Amino acid sequence: MCGIVGLHLRNPELHPRLGELLGQMLGEMQDRGADSAGIAIYGDPTWSPAGQGCVSLLETGVGADELDVAAEAVSKALGGEVAARLVDDTLVLSADVDSEALLATATTVYPDALVAGFGADLTVLKGVGAPRDLVQAWGLSTASGWQGVGHTRMATESAVTASGAHPFAVGPEQCLVHNGSFSNHATIRRELRAEGVSFDSENDTEVGARFVAHQLAQGKDVETALKEVCATFDGFYTLLVSNHDSFAVVRDAIACKPAVIAETDDWVAMASEYRALAHLPGVAEARIWEPEPEVVYAWTR
């Protein structure tokens, strides 16, 4: 049992409240998964300055008093200025270059680091501990942006580590969070490895994320990629997939795992349970429904 939350803001006047609203949503899902959590924020000007490539790294060993050294090391390797910030345990790098170029440089400097996420306007934070505690440690209430996704985890398929926490953000600007389990993930992992796809963990959700990223890299859109998930993966699941400008939800063929979607002119939100949506502004006037099995629901900015 895990908890999923997502918020896609249509009204720019709400952008300064993204972190506040998403943090409250995540906290409401703590009892669905209290061992670890993660979030992805699109558009925060401090963590991911507009127009710059951004990379989020875990397990770098960099402390608060070593940020200048980290920025200098990556800047030297890149041949251009890199800004470094430490958000709890996540090293967040940004530079005026393509995010994949920054990623390649950063992983050269920190070859043993775990890549939490990368892409323009994207910051991914993950950690072990109670979700409400992590929300405070990240300072999430001050974050802004147009879109965010989050996950609270109750580990069933792999160890309680940052590498096993969601979101899995394995393609540029792409994130996936998952409630449920894939029963045939080992077979699909072998098939993807045979096609040159690498993995960071034994988590079944990472297989789903790598599969979706592989589909998108072949030129398919998010809706088509998620239809391929339904045709390929066995198990019980609710998935929320986001990229730079879109937000999509799909459930398995018998809709075993709970999910609810709410939509207004100002925002679209989804969560594993309605209580995570109850505080959103204007929710009393929202259109609210439970997504149908194997139907892909998608919105674009």
Could you give the residue numbers annotated as active site?
2
- In a 10 Å sphere around its CB, with 0-12 CB exposed, 13-18 middle and 19+ buried, how is residue 112 labelled? exposed
What six digits make up the tokens of 39? Answer: 């979030």
Task: For tokens 């501990």, name the residue.
Answer: 129
Which helix (H) or strand (E) segment holds residue 250: the answer is: strand 246-251
- From the DSSP assignment, how many helices (H) and strands (E) are in the chain? 7, 15
What six digits make up the tokens of 194? Answer: 């045979």
261: helix, strand or coil:
strand
Distance CA 141, CA 144 (A): 8
- Evaluate whether 166 touches 205 at the Cβ level (below 8 Å): yes
Nearest to 180 by CA among 245, 116, 105, 230: 230
C-alpha torsion 95→101→106→109, nearest 10: -120
Q: How far is the CA of 94 from the CAs of 31, 72, 105, in angstroms? A: 34, 13, 12
